[in-house]
Structure 1
Amino acid sequence: MTAGLPNIGFVCSAFILLWIVLIAVLHPFLWLLFSTIKPETELVQYPPKFFPQELTFENYIQVWESIPLLALVKNTVIFSLGVAAASILFDSMAAYAFARIRFRGSRWMFTAILITMMIPFQVIMIPLFVEVYKLGLLDTF
């Protein structure tokens, strides 16, 4: 074996392992996708089949008619763009102040901001929900 060339057995086993992992990761997503185009009788049949025997888009039509999906997407886009714009505006001003201006307590405030950024959202999610609920802001849009 020459130096610099990988062992062919190692490369083949690595590719086989990667294909197995790829199939294991993609299988649930493909199952979900194929389940959306199956009629209800195929969804509940036993044993389940991976590929649909009969294609139907009734599920998509039913969801589109029962949920105001376009309005929800519009609201989400407006809200997320507003939050992003406000975040860019205020965060860039704070970053400029911390980078260029030395004031009393700036190191302490910068450390406090960094510490709060390290707290995962899952930790504060329920207390934030309770706070929004108590303020009466839940489902007010």
Structure 2
Amino acid sequence: MVEASKTQSKSTAEEGGLDASLRSILGYTVKRTSNILQADAAGVLDRFGLRITTFSALVVICDHPDVTQSQIAAALNMERSNTVLIIDALEQAGLIGRHRVPTDRRSYALRATLEGMKIRDAAVRALAEREEVMLHDLSQEERATLMALLVRIRAQP
């Protein structure tokens, strides 16, 4: 009898029955979806020796040569102290270089190395391919609508 109860509880949890009331809350559903997409992206990026945060910083550095750590922290909405660890990891991996800013001796301009640009390009392609698989049930129009709606929500004060 106890064994049947455990099996039934496990089955209910797997079907999503335990959080049914929460699934009507948009924020909850967005968070669950985000968790799935991030875990999937983390698996893709791991093949390149990157985490989501290091990948994000690398993309910003590749797209904006001579960006500073403070600018990256602001762009990625993270604490500047956390950015230091990310930049250190990218530099140790040989993906970026630090260069003194002549007008501010406390700041470094960050630039991607050739290897960093190659890794960024390959990781972006791999993520796009994986995202295509993850979103295969959505049309291009639906994807564009979803992105536009999420951007509108993010823009709220």
TM range (shorter): under 0.3
Give me the TM-score of the superposition, normalised by structure 1.
0.22
Bigger Rg over Cα = 1
Q: Which has the higher strand share?
A: 2
Give me the TM-score of the superposition, normalised by structure 2.
0.21
